A and B are shown apart, each in its own frame.
Chain A
């Protein structure tokens, strides 16, 4: 008893499930994410009901739905912010359940871009981006090079020495994108990036900049799952749209399959018209 108490305090919890830790990380799974029959409830309120979801390597998936539909809960179950005995079994990332992944290795394959980060300490932009390399164990030179590369990719290299708290919302989001890019640097095609309403505080141009970057990442093989509010943004950038309502997935497929006037009207409880975009091929929702 004394030993277990001591271990608890020191954070050396005896490993209960370490026996089946994966030894070969380079699994050959084509599926970046597989969620099978996942339900989750808090205080008898069903937040997610029997959700099924697969995301392939390099696929851009948008989670849509009215407020309270369970999009964010589903995303949190995937990234581990919410957990239950069930969720750790039924969420598979590159073929392995969450508990099979050692935390540090998982971080090299799964990254999360938060809605917004409050950081009241005056890190420079470079320092924030380098935090992404925490799980990588890189020598200093390689690290600086990687950080610079990521910052160039998201267009924040010119802000390198700026104090993070003085940036605008859009700049902050792109700095964090550079950070998660750094985190996924060794993932190759085995990367999965989750984003929770990354564009909610951004103006029109910044929204497109962030999503275009994600699109570019998807082309490089990183699987993207993003919670969005704007139906038309989702239609423009996604390969797959997953529409949720009352904790259930009510439709999923390509934008053209999911975004029909009937489905969208029924889900949101508001009449809409859907027309094709005059120049691009995706549907446009008019309400």
Chain B
């Protein structure tokens, strides 16, 4: 089998154009119709567009587009790095327990504080759910990492199994919380676990973009080492790579990245699992090109999914996690069928 690699310009130009087109479409479509001219003008300060259009573009749709792009990119990059680190194309960012822990943290915050929030609104303003979700994700990742680390360094196989076990434990704790939760809290938990980018504010956008850009720069610096890591850990060490610190650094970064997205938007599945596969089919497993491509493709997928999520049943909207799973799961099954002979 000869390997055919497309030239980078042929890969990146179309996907950049697609991303741009999807962004404009996302600003234009919705319950309140507007023209491209109006939307573009609304982006400028001191324009003469109707105030309600200004409001919708500046406060609702544009923030949402920007949040989608950053969150999609973070999820796809983390997935790429996790699959490289575990040398397993079926790994996803949740494998280190970060999603399970974050879900538990969020559920805890919802059940414990939601009922108190009406009497003590200060709890809501402290954004307890995102903070608890981030803490939950960090704690479980730390646990999984510690379980996998022995005298002879970190074993990714044991981490993988520990991730499964800790996630199951978190799932059991969530079941207990669900049992005690009242109807409102139950619904909140369910909605949160399906993910949504509806809560886009300029501060959350700032956080997401800073995270996305930092992750991209830091991952890109380790991309060649990650390539060598695919050969195996001892092989990477023999090539002069400090594998222990590389593993630690990448796990920490992935956990932080996924933790931020979970805190901001809840659980959005399948992007971190499917996008790296798609990227590898197009540019191959070299992380130097795979990472930027995954980031852009992840951004595109989440943006398109969110546009559908808020237009399909307008003026209500679907949780975006349902749509990414709806698009992602069949594609993943298709990949499995293709690889069935080889795995």
Contact = CB atoms under 8 A, between A and B. Distances in A.
Decide whether A and B are members of one complex: yes
Interface of A: 8-13, 79-81, 103-108, 110-112, 114, 117-124, 127-128, 131-132, 134-135, 161-163, 165-166, 183
Given A11-B246, A123-B286, A163 B228 contact: no
A260 B311 CA distance: 84
A162 B5 CA distance: 11
B232 A11 contact: no
B235 A114 contact: yes
B225 A81 contact: no
Nearest to B285: A121
Interface string B215-253: 000000000110110111011011111101110110010
Nearest to B87: A120
Contacts, number: 97
A103 B234 contact: no
Tell me which of A79, A107, A122 has the highest count of chain B C-beta atoms within 10 A of its own C-beta. A122
A244 B141 CA distance: 45
Interface residues of B, number: 34
Contacts of A10: 245, 248-249, 252
A119 B246 CA distance: 19
Nearest to A183: B239
A131 B225 CA distance: 9
A103 B232 contact: no
Interface string B1-14: 11111000000000
Interface of B: 1-5, 87-89, 224-225, 227-228, 230-232, 234-235, 237-242, 244-246, 248-249, 252, 280, 284-286, 342
A132 B239 contact: yes
A117 B233 CA distance: 10
Given A80-B238, A123-B227, 13 more contacts: A9-B252, A80-B237, A103-B241, A104-B240, A107-B239, A117-B235, A119-B230, A119-B232, A121-B230, A124-B5, A134-B228, A134-B240, A165-B342
The 10 closest A-B pairs by CB, nearest first: A11-B245, A107-B240, A121-B285, A135-B240, A104-B240, A124-B3, A112-B238, A166-B1, A163-B1, A103-B240
A11 B248 contact: yes
Contacts of A104: 240
A112 B234 contact: yes
B253 to A, nearest CB: 10
B285 A123 contact: yes
Given A11-B246, A121-B89, A107 B280 contact: no
Contacts of B225: 134
A9 B88 CA distance: 23
Contacts of B232: 114, 117-119
A10 B246 CA distance: 9
